[in-house]
Amino acid sequence: MEEALPEIMMRVVSELHDVAYLIERIEPQLLELGGSKVLEHPDSIKVLQGIDLAVQKTRGLAEFIDTITGSIPSDWAVDMSTALSLVKLAEMQKALGAGLRHGHSQPLSKAAGDFDFF
């Protein structure tokens, strides 16, 4: 299962942007659940700063990979079957293995309370 490396890398970039978005959604939820009192505790501030750092790092990795991917020759191909078999999330595995990328790999429109068994 060989595929062009630049195409694979761009799917990884897209997944990283998804991860950043999912992490970013945590912060307002924590503030909503904990109220303004959350900001009074130093440990809570550290957690919120950690969330922000995780988003920044994830986006930074996405931009880094995006930029270096532009210099990879389009005829470079890799067999990604082993790497794909190590990805445990089915939706992510599908997104990384698919020929074209459409939308987020993780459904963002699920109703509150929905969950997946694994």
Domain residues for the domain of 39 are 2-97
Q: Where are the alpha helices (DSSP H) in the chain?
A: 5-24, 26-34, 42-69, 81-85, 90-97
Q: Is residue 72 over pLDDT 70?
A: yes
Residue 58 belongs to some domain of the structure: yes
The pLDDT of 105-118, averaged and rounded, is 52
Residue 41 belongs to some domain of the structure: yes
The per-residue pLDDT of the chain, averaged, comes to 86
Residue 103 belongs to some domain of the structure: no
Residue 40 belongs to some domain of the structure: yes
Residue 10 belongs to some domain of the structure: yes
Confidence band for 111, pLDDT divided at 50, 70 and 90: very low
Residue 35 is predicted with a pLDDT of 82
Task: Give tens-digit pLDDT for 16-50.
Answer: 999 999 999 998 898 888 887 888 888 988 999 99
Task: Give tens-digit pLDDT for 59-68.
Answer: 999 999 999 9
Residue 106 belongs to some domain of the structure: no
Give residues with Cβ within 8 angstroms of 79, minimum separation 6. Answer: 1, 2
Query: Number of folded domains in the chain?
Result: 1
Q: Name which residue leads in pLDDT, 102 or 65.
A: 65
Residue 37 belongs to some domain of the structure: yes
Residue 14 belongs to some domain of the structure: yes
